[in-house]
Every structure is written in C-alpha cells, then in structure tokens.
A and B are shown apart, each in its own frame.
Chain A
C-alpha cells in the first residue's frame, strides 16, 4: 500500500495491519486440519478436594470419542510451571482450585466432546479450603502444597534501606492506610487455544497462542517427559495476551493429546467461560502502608506490608510480588524503606502475569498515600510529587542507582502545565445537579525486563533471501504490541530497503531463535538491540559480497540502497538478487545475541528473590483523570484523561500511543468495573455479562503526550512502554474521587455501589442526627 523505507522515529504503518483488516491474517485460533480431533478438559468444579475416583467408562464408550486421559496417562513429571513446577497437567489425588484439570478428552467433533466431558463421573471429596491470605496464613490452616517448605507462603521477602521503623517515629507527618485490590482478568479476545499434531517420526508440532514458544518447549518437555528437540512450537500473531498467555495454558494438554491422536491434528480452544475459570489472573492484594515525611514534604520513610494472593499454583507469583515490592514506594526518593511481602497460596484461581505485573496494585496504594500526605501538608499534589521525584543519579527505594534515563520529573512538569490541571477549579464548578466533579493525578513507573537472576536475552536472525528481500526472523511473540513493526523499522533504517522488501517470520522454534517471552515490556528493547547488530552485520556482508561483483578495492565507496548496492564512484549498481545469488544459504544469514544490562549496584537487600530483582531500567508516566460522580447512583464517569509518558526515544509514535491508549483503557476497567468475584473459590463472574471490560462509550477521549528522553542502552534510545500506562488510572481516578466529594477509597473497583455507600457514610458522619 505505501512503499517507503521504514525508518526510526516515523509513524510506520504496521506490516500486519493489512492482513488483520482484511481478515486474512491467521491466528492460532484460525488453524484447523483434516480429520481434526477436538480436545477438551473436565475441570474440578470445587476449590479443594481429594479425588476419590474418575469413572471414564461412559465417556470412553461414546462413539466418536478418540481417547480419555487422566493423570496416569501423563508421562514425565506431570508438573508444569515457569519457576516452580507445582501444577499438575492432570490432577492426581488432589484438586486445589475449581479450574484444576481432572481429565482430558479427545473426540471427533465438538458436540461429542461436550457430551463425553459431561459423561465423566468425577468423584471429589471436598476438603476445607482457604480463599484469603488471612485464612491461608492462620496457624493450622489447610496446607495447599504439602511438599512446599513454606506452607502456604510461596515466597516471603523484604526490601530494606536504612531504618524505616525508627525513621517513621521521627517524621513530622505520618500517614497510615490499608488498601485492597481484587483479581482482574486479561479478557483478551482470542481465548487460549492451539493446534498440535504428531509427525511420523514422533516429533510434536504445536501452533499456539502463546507469549513464550521457546519456554513452552521446556515446560512441555518437563511435564510430559519429551526431549526439547522433539517439540516444535510456533506462535502466530496473538489476539491479545497481556500476560495471560505467558506460561502453559493449552500447551501440555495439546502435546499429550497429540500423542494419542494417531497422527491426526488436535485442536483445543477454551470457551470464554473456561478462560475465566482456568485462565490466569492479576493477583488480588492487600497492602498496609505507613508513609512519613518532613513538614516541607520531603519523603522520609515508608513501611509497607504487601500480601499477594497467588491462588492455587505459583505461576509467576513470587516474581509478581517482587516487582510490586520494588515499586511499592512509587517513583520517588525515600531515604528509609521497609517493604515486606508475602505471596500466599490459596484455593482461588491462579494468579500470574498481567500487564503491570504486581505494580498496578502498589501504584494504587502509593499514589493514594501521596495524595493523603499532600492533603495533610496542605500541599499541591503535583508539587509534592515533583519535590520527591526520582532523577537520574538518585537511588531508588531498593537502593539501585538510577544510572539510566529517568523522566518522571519531566512528565510531572508537563502535567502541571496541562490545561486540564491549570483550569481544574473552573471545570469543577461547572458540575450540574447531582454531579460532582474532581481531578486527580498519579505518578507511575514500571521496570522493563526480567531483572537479575536469569538472562534477559534475545537472538536476532536476519536473512537476505534469494529474491533479494530481507527476512526478519522474529524470536519473540507479537501479541499486538507491534514489536514486529519496530523490527521492520530497525532493519529498514539500517539496510535502507523499502517496506515491500521485508518479510517477517513470526516465532517458530525451528526457524527463529530464542528471544525470551513477550513480556516485561522487554521485547523491542532486547530483540531490537540484537537486531541492530545483526542488521549491521548483514549490511556489511551484503556490501562485502557486492564488492566481489563490482571489483571494488575498498568497501567505503559502496552504499546499500533500496534493492541494490551502488558503487558511488562509478555509479554501477548491482541488484540484491544478484548479490544473493553468489551467496550460499548460510552466508545470507546473520545472527546476534543481546543481553539486557543488569544492575551493577551491590545489593544489600532482597536476598530472598532468586530471580526478578532488581531492575535497571524504568519507564515513567504522569496521569490525570477528570471525573464526574453521580450523587444519586455513585457512578463515576471519566470525562477527560491525560497521560504524559516517558520511555526513552520513540521508534514509532503510532505504536507508542497505541500502547498508552490501550493501557489506560485497561486501567479504567480496573478502576471502575473489573472485579473477579468468587464464592467458595468458584467464579461468580464467569463471562462477559458479569465481568465487564470497558466498551467504546466508557473510555473518554484520551490525551497522550510523549515525553522524550534518550536511553543510551536502548535500541535507538528507546525503552519499553507496554505496561507503565496500566498503573496510572486507578490511583488517578481514586484521587479524583476524593477531590470530587471527599470519598477516600481504599478498595477497588470504584463501583457505583461502593461510592454510593461511601457517600452515605460521609453524610452520616457530617449529620449524625439525620
């Protein structure tokens, strides 16, 4: 459609947009096969119990059923998991949450599959269950994982600088408050799914909607006892993920099913209800904060206790909590900090990775505390934040020196200058009958990358094809964030080729190279850096080979231009196809590995974290929400939203803004309506009629301003921006609510019911006799 050279810094249209708009781009969900077998899982239905018996006879004898498998049919360890392998593929003797898989059924068609699943007689003796962190931590509470040394504590950790407890006692001003946030669902539109088959040589091939195809091989291999080279996993573009497809969902079921399908392709697609019941969630959390400051607003000390409810299995619970703890103080200098964290097993659905990974939770607490402090000090909320904002060279609350780009002060300054903030009093005065208006702000940040303890690595692979095109082998899933677009821009910038010359291969463990998971706002940074080197190597290689045809005695006079190499002196040009024709296949490929730099500070805290702490690089944002509260219903409407975001230099303004917009919308859902509700561990919000995500009229017109800095370690100066935006809305809106009507919310979502109740309580306190 538009032929030009993809370049850095320009809005470059996504290469995948055309296919997606025409409906021709295939997602994993769009793959079918001949003689297709449909696979489905029967789930526990109760939160905790001992499996007495699973009677598969009726299901097995149903015509059209290909196989019925239980735990005894799982070779290998029957344990999946990313860091802790504590989750059975098929439950053995115990079920630990209502979505625990008990049996896997394969059938010729979906109707038969449904019938067979219903015919399974699953006899589970209910056992006492725990659902909150308090219940799980009580002495004598039922233990969810008997073999886990920490009992129901998956991980307990501390981050400590100075002496917070002592320092709090000496502060001029002290604020204490507790906060609670619920589970949130990713609600990506393409549910968990995949297609798998076994080749004649025994190798298992999977096409899967997954954020981590390379790690999936390892996870499947460990669970099912299959050597990694006997597994091939590819991930097409995902229909959304946001962390919910990080870690095995359908993968182990599919591989197991493929082994029992006599070479036929097996398809598993989770229904929306199954996605709610068995998909991963954002951790619910309880947070207790004590924040102390000097009379002039200088933050002095923070002591907080964080309880993350990780559900029945570990997934990435410890790492989520670690990141939350690392961000618990907000993007500020605080001299003394004590952050204590407990990541607790319960019989709730599994909490795992979700955009803003542990940080969305503490951002609510930290930023409400800042507003409470500002109110007590009679200080402007932005002035207070500006006074304490981290700057390059400071140490953060974990004791890490901010050696890299740190732009929160610029974000805050821009927000302070924004018309919405400047004119907020007038705007508020215009509220009509039964409406109250308020304006609230939040300052947020989010680390990028894995942190220490494991390689944050990407390996780029780029090829000059025989046709003279440039093929980029993307090693990391594009789940919608547009990293594939950035890679074409980087390669285009370096190789000076027009966009119609570029081919993209999406991750495939046979063809692309391991580049970690699509997570942690890391993908463009790591793969991009690797790609720069690989593309530069390829550029030099192409020029070098061209010199053989051009008989050039120096490479300096040769230039790589669209479709050709030119000898600048003679004017002679050689098309790329011709250069490719003299290169053997292995010569036409360049690869390069990049590891994200790690913190060099000698850490004297956070020793309990095996991986995931600390981080070197952060992106920052300052958000403003202007809301209207309806006094009759308690409903909050976000009328205006403004986000100032700093993530280094921007490679593509469109994809940057797309990420900010999307993150804000998810944050608004988290703030206003999204809440996974369970009763005895069973989902009371199992579908889109009971779990509401924002629809178009719910999201206001968003203003997004790019605050540019330059991150020296990043590809063309960029940092990841995927997550930081999702942390801003809940605190900004909660602060706006307090501004509008004095309601100080300590739990979320800020539903109409909660707000109306709070308004009524306030009225009673003001007029006790009425």
Chain B
C-alpha cells in the first residue's frame, strides 16, 4: 500500500504493508529508534507518538492509519533548536534514569501541556498515567513537567 504522511515536518512516501505496525515502521523502516516498544499491547506508553497533535500509541496503530496524518516522534520534538523545553526540564530535574520510558513520557507530557498548560502535580500524574516508568518512581518526572509548564514554553 502506498501511503504519504508528514513525519517530524518532512513528507514521507512509503510503499508498505497496510497492516504493518506503526512502531515497526518508525523504528525499522525509517530508523527512528527513539520511539520504543515496551509491551506491544498499549499498556506501557513507551511507543507514544503525536498524531495530528494527539498522544497515541504506535504499537496499536497500523500503517494505513498514517495516510495524510502529521506524526511527531521524540526526534522531531527538538527540531532545529536543539532541545525542546520538556527535554531540557527532564535533563535538569533528574527525570531520566534508564531513559527507556523518557521519549514516551516527553511525548505524553507535550500532549498534556498543550491541552492543560498549567497542570497541578496531580493532573500531571493523571496525564502521564498511561506511561509506565520502572526507575524513577515518577516524582522527578512530575518535577520536570511542572518546571516546563512553569517556564511556559510549550510549542513545538
């Protein structure tokens, strides 16, 4: 199946099986290994991407659903500027340990801040409740998202 979509600001044309999982397409076909797979069943959030600005799970999406969509992965979040404010906050606040959940968390946090620019700590926890982390206990992640929202820079 021929599909066309925007990935991190660039137009992509692919001829790919319609039912190929988006997480595989991103990682293996296009080399964007920043998006991770942790469970393959929508339970851990490591495969989180933005689809038309919304937080979705690429392990539960198939290639056919990409047609005409605008996709942003973690690699696309920093753009030309180097570091997205959320990435800076994660780094500074110590929210990164093993880091495997980090891309998904940042994507989830970006979606959260877009819809709720000033979340309480409880709202941050709720907004990130679809992203599992086994290393940090979440606290410094909440610190980081809180800090990023405080700084107030939230556009991609």
Chain A in direct contact with chain B (Cβ < 8 angstroms):
yes
Residues of B within 8 A of A (CB): 27-28, 32-41, 43-44, 46, 73-75, 77-78, 83, 87-88, 90-92, 94, 96-103, 106, 121-122, 124-126, 128-142
Distance of A688 Cα from B46 Cα, bound (Å): 13
The A contact surface, by secondary structure, is loop
Whether the Cβ atoms of B91 and A13 lie closer than 8 Å is: yes
Whether the Cβ atoms of B99 and A25 lie closer than 8 Å is: yes
Whether the Cβ atoms of B28 and A696 lie closer than 8 Å is: no
Distance of A188 Cα from B98 Cα, bound (Å): 9
Whether the Cβ atoms of B129 and A662 lie closer than 8 Å is: no
Distance (whole angstroms) from the CB of A727 to the closest CB of chain B: 15
Distance of A29 Cα from B99 Cα, bound (Å): 13
Q: Does A604 contact B (CB under 8 A)?
A: no
Whether the Cβ atoms of A661 and B137 lie closer than 8 Å is: yes
Distance (whole angstroms) from the CB of B98 to the closest CB of chain A: 3
Distance (whole angstroms) from the CB of B37 to the closest CB of chain A: 8
Not counting A27-B36, A480-B98, A696-B141, a sample of 15 additional A-B residue pairs whose C-beta atoms are within 8 angstroms of each other reads A1-B83, A18-B83, A23-B33, A189-B44, A239-B99, A240-B98, A240-B134, A481-B97, A658-B94, A666-B134, A687-B39, A688-B43, A688-B132, A697-B129, A701-B121
Distance (whole angstroms) from the CB of A479 to the closest CB of chain B: 6
Residues of B within 8 A of A25 (CB): 99
Distance of A238 Cα from B124 Cα, bound (Å): 26
Distance (whole angstroms) from the CB of B53 to the closest CB of chain A: 19
Q: Does A132 contact B (CB under 8 A)?
A: no
Closest 3 CB pairs between A and B? A23-B34, A480-B98, A20-B99
Distance of A657 Cα from B138 Cα, bound (Å): 12
Whether the Cβ atoms of A239 and B36 lie closer than 8 Å is: yes
Whether the Cβ atoms of A665 and B90 lie closer than 8 Å is: no
Residues of B within 8 A of A23 (CB): 32-35, 73-75, 102-103
Residues of B within 8 A of A663 (CB): 137
Whether the Cβ atoms of A237 and B136 lie closer than 8 Å is: no
Whether the Cβ atoms of B125 and A654 lie closer than 8 Å is: no
Q: Does A243 contact B (CB under 8 A)?
A: no
Distance of A19 Cα from B74 Cα, bound (Å): 11
Distance (whole angstroms) from the CB of A188 to the closest CB of chain B: 6
Residues of A within 8 A of B40 (CB): 271-272
Subset of 6 A-B contacts with CB under 8 Å: A23-B33, A23-B34, A26-B33, A187-B134, A238-B98, A272-B40
Whether the Cβ atoms of B99 and A272 lie closer than 8 Å is: no
In this complex, the interface size class of chain A, counting residues with CB under 8 Å from chain B, is: 35 or more
Distance (whole angstroms) from the CB of B128 to the closest CB of chain A: 5
Residues of B within 8 A of A569 (CB): none
Contact of A654 among B38, B43, B77, B94 (CB under 8 A): B94
> Which B-chain residue is minimally distant from A704 (CB atoms)?
B139
Distance of A30 Cα from B37 Cα, bound (Å): 10
Residues of A within 8 A of B135 (CB): 240, 480, 658, 662
Residues of A within 8 A of B46 (CB): 189
Distance of A486 Cα from B107 Cα, bound (Å): 29
Contact of A21 among B99, B122, B132 (CB under 8 A): B99
Distance of A186 Cα from B36 Cα, bound (Å): 18
Distance (whole angstroms) from the CB of B81 to the closest CB of chain A: 12
Whether the Cβ atoms of B98 and A14 lie closer than 8 Å is: no
**Of B90, B126, B134, B138, which is in contact with the most chain A CB atoms at under 10 Å from its CB?**
B134
Q: Does A699 contact B (CB under 8 A)?
A: yes
Distance of A663 Cα from B97 Cα, bound (Å): 12
Distance (whole angstroms) from the CB of A729 to the closest CB of chain B: 11
Distance (whole angstroms) from the CB of A281 to the closest CB of chain B: 15
Whether the Cβ atoms of B137 and A14 lie closer than 8 Å is: no
Whether the Cβ atoms of B129 and A695 lie closer than 8 Å is: yes
Distance of A696 Cα from B100 Cα, bound (Å): 16
Residues of A within 8 A of B90 (CB): 17, 21
Whether the Cβ atoms of B75 and A24 lie closer than 8 Å is: yes
Residues of B within 8 A of A570 (CB): none
Hey, what's the 0/1 contact readout for A1-19 against B, CB within 8 Å counting as 1?
Answer: 1000000000101101111
Distance of A482 Cα from B96 Cα, bound (Å): 10
Distance of A253 Cα from B156 Cα, bound (Å): 43
Q: Does A689 contact B (CB under 8 A)?
A: yes
Q: Does A32 contact B (CB under 8 A)?
A: yes
Whether the Cβ atoms of B83 and A665 lie closer than 8 Å is: no
Known: A21-B96, A22-B75, A238-B98. A661 touches B33 (CB 8 A): no
> Which A-chain residue is minimally distant from B35 (CB atoms)?
A23
Whether the Cβ atoms of A480 and B87 lie closer than 8 Å is: no
Whether the Cβ atoms of A22 and B33 lie closer than 8 Å is: no
> Which B-chain residue is minimally distant from A666 (CB atoms)?
B134
Distance of A179 Cα from B115 Cα, bound (Å): 48
Whether the Cβ atoms of A689 and B91 lie closer than 8 Å is: no
Distance of A662 Cα from B136 Cα, bound (Å): 4
Q: Does A759 contact B (CB under 8 A)?
A: no
Whether the Cβ atoms of B126 and A688 lie closer than 8 Å is: no
Q: Does A242 contact B (CB under 8 A)?
A: yes
Residues of B within 8 A of A17 (CB): 90-91, 96, 99
Contact of A701 among B101, B126, B129, B139 (CB under 8 A): B139
Distance (whole angstroms) from the CB of B144 to the closest CB of chain A: 10
Residues of A within 8 A of B96 (CB): 14, 16-17, 20-21
Q: Does A190 contact B (CB under 8 A)?
A: yes
Whether the Cβ atoms of B128 and A696 lie closer than 8 Å is: yes
Distance of A25 Cα from B125 Cα, bound (Å): 26
Whether the Cβ atoms of B99 and A693 lie closer than 8 Å is: no
Known: A32-B28, A189-B132. A22 touches B98 (CB 8 A): no
Distance of A189 Cα from B102 Cα, bound (Å): 11
Q: Does A173 contact B (CB under 8 A)?
A: no
Whether the Cβ atoms of B98 and A190 lie closer than 8 Å is: yes
Distance (whole angstroms) from the CB of A676 to the closest CB of chain B: 15
